[in-house]
Each structure stands twice: as C-alpha cells, then as structure tokens.
Structure 1
Amino acid sequence: MATLSLETLESLLQPYLPAGIPAGVVEKLSAYLELLLKWNARTNLTAIRQPEEMVRRHFGESLFAGGLVPEETGTLLDLGSGGGFPGIPIQILRPEIAVTLAESQGKKAAFLREAVRTLGLKTEVWADRGEKLAGRFDVVAMRAVDKMGEMIPVAEALVGPGGHLMLLTTRIQLEVLNRAATTVQPLPGSLDGVVALFHVEQNG
C-alpha cells in the first residue's frame, strides 16, 4: 500500500495552512493516512482512493477549517464524522480543544475509536445519533453530511449560547440553505468549496 513521504505530505498541505504547519502535525497525519488506507480497503470510509487526493480533500480542507475555528473555542463536535473529517485533523492541529466525533454507523465509529487510540488523541467518539447527545459545544462542524438541510436544526440545538455552527460545503449548497453566514472562506484549490461559520446567539 503506497503511503506518502513526510515531505510530500507537507507540500500537499502547505496551501491549506499558509502560516506554516505546527511541529508534529505532519507525523500524526502520516499515521492517520496509513490507517485510513488500510481500513478503507475493507470498509468504505471514503470514495477517494488516491492517497494524494485524500490528503488534499480530507486532511487539507479539515486543517483549513481548523484554522478558522475561533481562538477561544474549548469544545467542538464533528457531527456525522464518517472517517473523522474535519474532527481528527482539527484535533491534531488544535490539541487544546476537546473534540467529540459523532458517528452513528458502527463500522465507521469503530474506525474512529481505532484512529483516536493509534494517534494518542484525547478525542471522544459518540457512536450514536447526534440528537441523543446531551452536551452543548462551542462549535458544531459538519462536512458532506447527507441531507444537510435536515441536519442543521439538529446541529444548531447542540451549539452552546454564543457558539458557532461550521459547515464545510459548497456555495451552491449555501444558497439552497438560504442562511446568512458570519464568514464564508473559499477552500484552497476548490472551485466551489467553502467553509461557512454561523454565529448561534441563543439556544433554548
């Protein structure tokens, strides 16, 4: 199974973190990539098969989103985490944040637990539906979630007062959602991809 050198990884990730990649991040992502490739051969974690494309689309875009997470964030939920995006790269980039990965599909949740254990992360894995989560989070992030329009109210209900909803999506999807974002940043190297942040004032 072809894995990439640390130098190749770093050069692929550079556009997503133009201010520089913190020490130790590339090494952890290399171990993550190895695990992802191994598991993806038998469990469909991602339709992307090329390691370089995995690094750009999954790691790079997640790290870019991590750079946009507000400084004061203490807790972050990755809702519908799948293979761990954007939650695991954000955890690697921002170790001070308490990240929770919510994934209701058993095989994917098993992969997430294995990834967290292998990488030595403090990340929590919630192997059930997001609606059943009791806590509130400073940031709730969603990326490529099925029926995103339906999931947004679920996500917003999990955001603590004054927190943020973060969507890794497309401009077209944003127009369909018809919601005013606080900030919208285009994803490097993507024609239509964006990271949108929505400020959530109050919740129940």
Structure 2
Amino acid sequence: MTADAFRDVSGVSRETLDRLAAYEALLRKWQASINLVGRSTLDDVWRRHILDSAQLVPLLPAGTRTLVDLGSGAGFPGLVLALMGVPDVHLVESDSRKCAFLREAARVTATPVTVHNRRIEAVSPFPADAVTARALAPLGDLLAWAEPFLAAHTVALFLKGQNLEDELTLATKSWKMSAERFPSATDPNGTVLRVSGIARV
C-alpha cells in the first residue's frame, strides 16, 4: 500500500498525510539502529502499521479527547491516532529507546502527545475516554492494565489475533464487559475488539 492509497481508504487530509509520511520516513531511519517493527513488515508500512492503527478512528467514542495507548512501541496505534486528530494521547512505553523515538516522531510531526517512559503499572491513574493496545498481551492482562484509566464511559479498543475467542472465554471468568467484534481491515485473521462496561467480577 502506498501513501496515496492510504489516503484514498482513510480520507485523511493532505496535511495529515504529509505528517504521517514524515513519521514513516523517521521510522525507516530509526529502524536501522533499533528494532521498532518486524523487518518483514517494512515493505508494507502503510497497510501493516498505519492503516492497521487508523482503522480504530471510527470505532472511538464520539468526542474522544483523552486516550491511553498501552505498550506503544513505535507508536502504533497511539501516535497514529494522535496524528489523525485525537487531542490528548498518552503513550505508555517502558523501553527508553522507543520512547526517544516517540518523542522525536512527535517533534518532527508537530503532534502533541505525552510519553510515559515507565511500565504500565507505574503510571499514575487518571480517567480516559479510550484505552488502546496492539499485539501486547492476552485480554485478561490488558483489562487489568487498563483498569486504572477506566471511567463509566471508557471504551477499550484492542487489535487481536486468531486467539481472541479463547482469550475472551478466559477473561470473562474475572471480568464482566460488553464486547463487540469488528473484522480487521488489514489482517484476515485479525479482529478489532471494542470493550465497554468493564468491571471486575
């Protein structure tokens, strides 16, 4: 997928596309020295990473302002969502080298984000409108990590693979929630899980 093909699918403005392109160029530059994404995915960054992240935008609650991205890594999906207009994005990442990349990407693209260079459990709690995570951990762990950021209206969006149903079965032993599944736009075996009404059993 090319940048222009991404724009056709996502409908982003030329200005947003230019900022995403600057992010993609920086990712390729830094990838040479630190492992930000799987090497095999570099040939298809716009689909495998940027579109994969951007597909969450229409699933966010209307008026989403504060978003917490758990285990941000190279910024997927959190930094992409910030680039696409979510105003108050918090990127949580324990790897200091990846945090350096995130801060530089935010600077280069003039995108205001807050980078938390610490383990998820060490971040002070605050309420968020949305919590996101991509390829990070089983659902039960994700819900436990998301718990300090949950308010009554909070929605969690998790990009999950083919083990989702097993993860849901296990998680519902400890958690009650309303779960909606949406087919991934980029992975035939993937699902975007949208979870609300999250509470411990």
- TM exceeding 0.5: yes
23-32 or 149-158: which moved more?
A: 149-158
- Misfit runs of 4+, over 6 Å: none
Of the candidates 163, 180, 183, which is equivalent to residue 183 of structure 1? 180
**Where does residue 84 of structure 1 map in the other structure?**
75
Equivalent positions of 1:159-170 (< 5 A) are 159-170=150-161
Of the candidates 126, 133, 137, which is equivalent to residue 116 of structure 2? 126
Of the candidates 129, 132, 139, which is equivalent to residue 138 of structure 1? 129
Measured in 2, the distance between the counterparts of 1:89 and 1:11 equals 16
Of the candidates 141, 163, 168, which is equivalent to residue 172 of structure 1? 163
Measured in 2, the distance between the counterparts of 1:170 and 1:147 equals 10
Of the candidates 135, 144, 152, which is equivalent to residue 143 of structure 2? 152
107-116 or 41-50: which moved more?
A: 41-50
**Where does residue 31 of structure 2 map in the other structure?**
40
1:49–1:39 CA distance, 2 compared to 1 (3 A): farther
- How far apart are 1:201 and its partner, in Å? 5.3
Please give the TM-score of this superposition, normalised by the length of structure 2.
0.86
- How far apart are 1:13 and its partner, in Å? 5.0
**Where does residue 11 of structure 1 map in the other structure?**
5
Please give the TM-score of this superposition, normalised by the length of structure 1.
0.85
Structure 1 residue ranges without an equivalent (≥5): none
Structure 2 residue ranges without an equivalent (≥5): none
Count of equivalent residues: 193
Aligned: 1:199 with 2:196: yes
Identity rate, percent:
30
SS state at 1:24 partner: helix
Measured in 2, the distance between the counterparts of 1:145 and 1:189 equals 17
Q: Give me the CA root mean square deviation.
A: 2.2
1:153–1:201 CA distance, 2 compared to 1 (3 A): closer
75-84 or 123-132: which moved more?
A: 123-132
